[in-house]
Amino acid sequence: MEPVRNYINGAFVDAVSGQTLDTVNPATNTVITAVPRSQAVDVKHATEAAKAAATAWGATTMVERIAWLERIADALEAEAETIAQLESLDTGKPISLARRVDAARSVANFRFFADHAKGHQDPTFSDHGAVNHVHRSPVGVVGLITPWNLPLYLLSWKVAPALLMGNTIVAKPSELTPLTADFLAKTVHALGLPAGVFNLVHGYGPEVGQAIVEHPDIRGISFTGGTATGRLVAATAAPMFKKLSLELGGKNATVVLDDAPLDDIMEGLVRASFTNSGQVCLCGSRILVDETIYDTFAEKFIAKVEELRLGDPQDEATQMGTVISQDHKAKVESYIRLGIEEGGTVLTGGLSELAPVPGVPSDGAFLRPTVLAGLSASCRTATEEIFGPVVTLHSFASEDEAVEMANLTEYGLAGSVWTADIERGHAFAKRMETGIVWVNTWLNRDLRTPFGGVKQSGVGREGGDWSMAFFSEMTNVCIQQP
């Protein structure tokens, strides 16, 4: 594959230093291609280009920008299969998942924000004979920093509203998954998006990401990634009074109440636990089950987990591929070891040396879906984010205890409740300290709704009006009749 290059001021360029790093296919542990290892100077060039383009882009009308989003959506949709193939290659996720989730949602993000803006009207308020008009301007140059688990899905979730509201962009994808961000750059280039409106700088987080956060001309930062990195981003950006949106880690609880119809929900629970090898920030990694149904639940759940088809991500039948890298596999396995040290029992899966995945390359980052039981709900394995195919099972004696266990961690991103009684599920959901709770479903996303976390899972909300608000500055113009 051709080396990936930065996209700055409408041109594909190498890092100023000429340095590169490799992006690796985690299923085979082989190099896919070289990627620029950029530095602050590359971010400086990208920011200068974005700043130079900001006035003209900000002066385009909303109608013109909606048309741009629609053009980008159409162009991506025409290449949905390419997007899915690139994403599967770069992440090790099954091709079927990459089609259904990554490619489809990347297109949908552009289409959604175009449609959403069509119905949008800024409010006016009348009082004391005066009329207040809310006027929106772009923030200016914004920095978009995204992780490796859903590469184009999450980048497009930020690029679409940023463009829509008239901002120009300096973006950095994870250095582990640069291919679809590069594809987006090629797409907007081919469409003739004005130079400097969208800039992409590849490289390591502490080098490129940090330089974006530090640059004084980048006025807003939308960051999705881990909580520890988010803390660094906040520490750098807050004293500069930048607009800041932080979408961070989670340790989400899946709560199964005693009346849950186990046979009907089991597939949903396995999906909530192991989609994308558990590498979705919204995956439920702690399953809390009423003690009266715990044994039956555990038996049915393990049987369903063991039906998952693991293997070559390129195989159409594969349901679970690899984790993102050998390093990440080592991190996930360290948590399986910790779980055992903390007194847990492996009910299925486990360390790859003991439970290898047959028929896959030995140095691929494959791991079996792993279920641990017998752990305290407050131990490290059950409270720290593992971000891999590992879930812990716990039982509770009452709903109050379940609420306490669900709210035990420092995180508060998402959760789900499973019950035959919708009122009961709704009441339980409101007691969970999270940004999102699903009742009898998971990853069911209406893009108009607020998305984000509480506690250490983030600051701010994305989605629909919230994204439009983040990517704009509001001026209230109060007009009094003379």
Distances (CA, A) of 341 to 274, 278, 346: 23, 22, 11
Q: Which of 175, 207, 247, 462 is catalytic?
A: 247
Neighbours of 95 (CB within 10 A): 22
Token pair recorded at residue 109: 């993000």
- Give, as ranges, the residues between 347 and 406 that touch ligand NAP (CB under 6 A): 385, 387
HSE-up (13 A, CA, CB side) for residue 354: 9
Token pair recorded at residue 66: 């909606």
Q: How many residues bind ligand NAP (CB under 6 A)?
A: 32
Q: Which of 281, 283, 333, 462 is catalytic?
A: 281
Nearest residue to ligand NAP, using CB? 205
HSE-up (13 A, CA, CB side) for residue 408: 21
Does 453 help bind ligand NAP (rule: CB under 6 A)?
Answer: yes
Distances (CA, A) of 480 to 127, 128, 159, 258, 350: 10, 8, 38, 61, 70
Q: What minimum distance in Å lies between the beta carbon of 361 and ligand NAP?
A: 23
Near ligand NAP by CB under 6 A: residue from 3, 58, 194, 226: 226
Separation of CA 366 from chain center: 21
Distance, in Å, from the CA atom of 411 to the CA atom of 409, rounded to the nearest integer, reads: 5
Does 321 help bind ligand NAP (rule: CB under 6 A)?
Answer: no
Does 156 help bind ligand NAP (rule: CB under 6 A)?
Answer: no
Is the Cβ of residue 206 or residue 359 nearer to ligand NAP in the bound state?
Answer: 206
In sequence order, what E strands does 419-468 have? 436-439, 454-455, 458-459
Near ligand NAP by CB under 6 A: residue from 91, 109, 210, 285: 210
Instruction: Answer whether 193's CB lies under 8 Å from 165's CB.
Output: no
Distance, in Å, from the CA atom of 190 to the CA atom of 398, rounded to the nearest integer, reads: 59
Site string for ligand NAP, 273-302 (x = CB under 6 A): --------x---------------------
Does 413 help bind ligand NAP (rule: CB under 6 A)?
Answer: yes
Distances (CA, A) of 401 to 128, 294, 344, 420, 473: 52, 15, 20, 20, 43
Does 148 help bind ligand NAP (rule: CB under 6 A)?
Answer: yes
Instruction: Answer whether 134's CB lies under 8 Å from 65's CB.
Output: no
Distances (CA, A) of 355 to 283, 312, 330, 347, 369: 23, 17, 15, 12, 10
Match 């339980």 to its residue by tokens: 428
Near ligand NAP by CB under 6 A: residue from 53, 69, 200, 213: 213
Match 């199964």 to its residue by tokens: 256
Near ligand NAP by CB under 6 A: residue from 205, 311, 313, 388: 205
Neighbours of 423 (CB within 10 A): 9
Is the Cβ of residue 57 or residue 274 nearer to ligand NAP in the bound state?
Answer: 274
Q: What minimum distance in Å lies between the beta carbon of 1 and ligand NAP?
A: 19
Is 214 a catalytic site residue? no
Is the Cβ of residue 278 or residue 311 nearer to ligand NAP in the bound state?
Answer: 278
Distances (CA, A) of 134 to 123, 127, 128, 163: 6, 14, 17, 20
Q: What minimum distance in Å lies between the beta carbon of 185 and ligand NAP?
A: 16
Instruction: Answer whether 217's CB lies under 8 Å from 349's CB.
Output: no
Near ligand NAP by CB under 6 A: residue from 169, 176, 367, 402: 176
Token pair recorded at residue 326: 């050998």
Q: Which stretch binds ligand NAP (CB under 6 A): 237-245, 247-255, 304-312, 365-373?
A: 247-255
Those residues whose C-beta lies under 8 Å from the C-beta of residue 72, and which sit 6 or more positions away, are: 110, 160, 187, 188, 191, 193
Does 23 help bind ligand NAP (rule: CB under 6 A)?
Answer: no
Site string for ligand NAP, 31-70 (x = CB under 6 A): ----------------------------------------
Side chain identity at residue 333, one-letter code:
E
Q: What minimum distance in Å lies between the beta carbon of 409 and ligand NAP?
A: 12
Q: What minimum distance in Å lies between the beta carbon of 453 and ligand NAP?
A: 6
Is 247 a catalytic site residue? yes
Near ligand NAP by CB under 6 A: residue from 48, 90, 102, 175: 175
Does 174 help bind ligand NAP (rule: CB under 6 A)?
Answer: yes
Instruction: Answer whether 250's CB lies under 8 Å from 147's CB.
Output: no
Those residues whose C-beta lies under 8 Å from the C-beta of residue 154, and which sit 6 or more positions away, are: 146, 147, 224
Q: Which stretch binds ligand NAP (CB under 6 A): 112-120, 169-177, 265-273, 308-316?
A: 169-177
Near ligand NAP by CB under 6 A: residue from 50, 248, 320, 408: 248
Is the Cβ of residue 120 or residue 380 nearer to ligand NAP in the bound state?
Answer: 380
Near ligand NAP by CB under 6 A: residue from 36, 209, 339, 389: 209
Site residues (CB under 6 A) for ligand NAP?
145-149, 154, 172, 174-176, 204-206, 209-210, 213, 224-226, 229, 232-233, 247-250, 281, 385, 387, 413, 453, 458
Catalytic residues: 247, 281
